[in-house]
Amino acid sequence: MSAFESEGVQKALSFLCLAIFGRLIKGRFSKPMVAGVQKLILDGMLPCVIFKALCSIKLDASLLKWPLMGAVFVVAQLAASALCSSLVFPGDRLAAPRRSALAELGTSAPGLSAMVFVKEFVGDHAAGHAALFDLPTKLYLIFALPKLLRAAGGGGGGAAGGASALGLLKDPLNVSIVAGLACAVSGTAFADLAFVGKAMTALASAQTPVLFLLIGMKLKFEGATPAACVVLLVGRHAANYACFAGFVAVLGLAGDDALTALLMVQAAVSVVGWSQMAKASEAGVAGYNLDFAFDIVGYSMPLTMLLQTLACLSDPAQATARAATVLPVAGAALFAVGFLAIKSSVQDPAAWEKKAD
């Protein structure tokens, strides 16, 4: 089987086809219809994805380096996101795109953009390591990010503890978190849920194709948005490669472990970050640009798929060595050049204020 026929590359191309199809049918959907699709993802499909992921959590003391690496990665990525977003969007009048970029760039979605490559090009044995690496990211997205969004927002939404326990459990995402953690703690396997589990699997499986159709419908190709997204994502990847270089230097990662870690740090940003932002906005928290955050998701996916494909089609030793030495410097230089090239256009407040939520 050729590299082109591998599962990872074929899946990446299938995502591209879905986005193209979404673009082709965009004119048949009004704004309320598109908003309805978004709501279906947020309240119907995403909770099933989160529930399945939490049910599968299993820790082994001999593998603790993977969640520890994941925790370091969360902190490093958030710090880099704060730096990149502050450079690109300085000042009070650019606060909305800055907050939105910071929140979205600090997320990661390896389930969509890395796990399939890990399984295909490293092996099933590495999938467990990758899941443990992703565990701190999941905890950050589910528990910490909503509080950070409220704290950093432009006001509104009331006090952080204002909602009652009953009110919180009316949100499908919160229900999925509580139920998933209960299953993980009790040792209940997802397979034990029988027909309920099958129904949730069907909804969870639907998220990816619907998400990429939505990306095709909503992705912007005009104005300052595309350039801003690409430059910010280049800065994010440069910082993530620097983090990977640190893992290699400190832990001596090599072989399958190094390739697994590389594929994980190259993961795209997460739609969960955008969904948490949307929920904060619905709760009255001001100061976020939801469309811009979703555009970052849309541009992140094809960039990540390209990087994952290139890494997997290269010699693994060369790919990991290049990522730990050349790519952090090259990425930082490319970010600097790109930032200088787009600075005047993306830092025009008028281009963003009319889009702010």
Do the Cβ atoms of 268 and 297 come closer than 8 Å?
yes
Residue 144's pLDDT is 94
Average predicted confidence (pLDDT) for the chain: 87
User: What pTM value is reported for the model?
Assistant: 0.81
Do the Cβ atoms of 256 and 129 come closer than 8 Å?
no
105-155 pLDDT, tens digit each: 999 988 768 877 887 788 767 877 888 898 899 889 988 999 999 998 766
First to last CA, the chain: 48
Of 126-130, 153-157, 191-195, 347-351, least confident by mean pLDDT is: 153-157
* All structural domains of the chain: 3-341 (1.20.1530.20)
The SS3 assignment for 285 reads: coil
Residue 118 carries which side chain, given as an amino acid letter? V
Average pLDDT on 13-25 reads: 90
29-73 pLDDT, tens digit each: 998 998 899 889 878 888 888 788 778 767 667 678 999 999 999
Do the Cβ atoms of 136 and 67 come closer than 8 Å?
yes
Residue 167 binned pLDDT confidence (cut-offs 50, 70, 90): low
Largest CA distance in the chain: 57
Residue 16 binned pLDDT confidence (cut-offs 50, 70, 90): confident
Residue 114's pLDDT is 86
DSSP assignment of 51-83 equals: HHHHHT----GGGTHHHHHHHHHHHHHHHHHHH
Q: Please state, in angstroms and as integers, the Cα–Cα distance from residue 35 to each residue in 12, 39, 262, 283, 290, following that order.
A: 26, 6, 35, 16, 12
The yes-or-no verdict on residue 160 having pLDDT over 80 is no
Of 163-172, 181-190, 306-315, least confident by mean pLDDT is: 163-172
Residue 158's pLDDT is 52
Residue 3's pLDDT is 63
Average pLDDT on 312-329 reads: 94
Average pLDDT on 328-335 reads: 98
Residue 211's pLDDT is 85
Residue 31's pLDDT is 86
Supply 189's token pair. Answer: 């396997």
Q: Around Cβ 198, how many Cβ atoms within 10 Å?
A: 10
Of 110-114, 160-164, 214-218, 343-347, least confident by mean pLDDT is: 160-164
Tell me how far apart the alpha carbons of residues 110 and 8 are, in angstroms, rounded to a whole number.
13
Of 89-103, 127-141, 294-308, least confident by mean pLDDT is: 127-141
The yes-or-no verdict on residue 237 having pLDDT over 80 is yes
DSSP assignment of 81-149 equals: HHHHHHHHS-SGGGHHHHHHHHHHHT---HHHHTHHHHHHHT-HHHHHHHHHHHHHHHHIIIIIHHHHH
Given the structure tokens 């965009």, which residue do they identify? 26
Tell me how far apart the alpha carbons of residues 97 and 345 are, in angstroms, rounded to a whole number.
14
